[in-house]
A = this chain, B = another copy of it.
Amino acid sequence: MPKQPRPEALERLCKALSRLPGVGRVTSERLAYHLVQVPEAEALDLAEAIRTARREVRVCSQCFNLDQEDPCKICQDPHRDRKLLLVVEGPREVAAFEQSGYAGLYHVLQGRVSPLEGISEKDLSLQSLLRRVEEGEFKECCLAMNPDLEGEATADLCYSVLKKTGILVTRLARGIPAGASILQVQQPILSDALHGRRKY
């Protein structure tokens, strides 16, 4: 058996760090040695930030967004457009749309169908979505999945659940991203842009 090259507390820290997504053995070692060599307050601040986030952040029982209040601040806000519902895959997408200036409500699916990762429709908050649309005053439900295969499959699933309610179901526009060059975007993007062309 090879001898343990590191003190036990450092080994434990490497193991805990290597469970993070995208952090392999080498990176976890680099981070662990960094954390024991920076000023102590900096390392302890990270530990405390993790503990605080776990204590304070919860899932909103209405829209499944993450917040420190339940219902979340967005669901509580009387100034938001309560007729428009944006369905997104996860809470990071909520943060992204918030920065874009969107002012309606959200429904967080808590994932996307992905046979490879073993995520099926039972793992998503689809029944809650249906209930909110049936019981709420929404006029439009916009499916804002990511523009890839799993996102498309997830949007199809949402549509099949929602169509019987008669609500207007929409999707995000697809086309040339603002700031891009026509010569440099890929062919499926140009196809989308042509297919979705609008009156000038």
Q: Is A167 an interface residue (CB 8 A)?
A: no
Whether the Cβ atoms of B9 and A36 lie closer than 8 Å is: no
User: Closest CB of chain B to A63's CB: distance in Å?
Assistant: 14
Oligomer: number of copies: 2
Contact of A10 among B2, B36, B66 (CB under 8 A): B66
Contact of A47 among B21, B50, B56, B99 (CB under 8 A): B50
Whether the Cβ atoms of A53 and B30 lie closer than 8 Å is: no
Contact of A9 among B20, B53, B95 (CB under 8 A): B53
Question: Which B residues touch A7, using CB under 8 A?
Answer: 56-57, 66-68, 73
Question: Which B residues touch A66, using CB under 8 A?
Answer: 7, 10, 33, 36-37
Q: How far is the CA of A67 from the CA of B9 in the complex (A)?
A: 9
Contact of A33 among B9, B37, B90 (CB under 8 A): B90
Output the nearest chain B residue to A91 by Cβ-Cβ distance: B33
Question: Which B residues touch A16, using CB under 8 A?
Answer: 45-46, 49-50
With A3-B98, A5-B95 already in contact, the answer to whether A32 and B53 are too (CB < 8 A) is yes
**Interface size counted on chain A using CB atoms at 8 A:** 56
Output the nearest chain B residue to A100 by Cβ-Cβ distance: B5
User: Can you list 5 A-B pairs with a CB-CB distance of less than 8 A?
Assistant: A3-B99, A13-B53, A20-B34, A40-B54, A43-B54
Excluding A6-B95, A47-B48, A47-B50, 4 further A-B contacts by CB distance (< 8 Å) are A3-B99, A9-B52, A16-B46, A30-B92
* A residues at B contact (CB < 8 Å): 2-3, 5-10, 12-13, 15-17, 19-22, 27, 29-37, 40, 42-57, 66-68, 73, 90-92, 94-96, 98-99
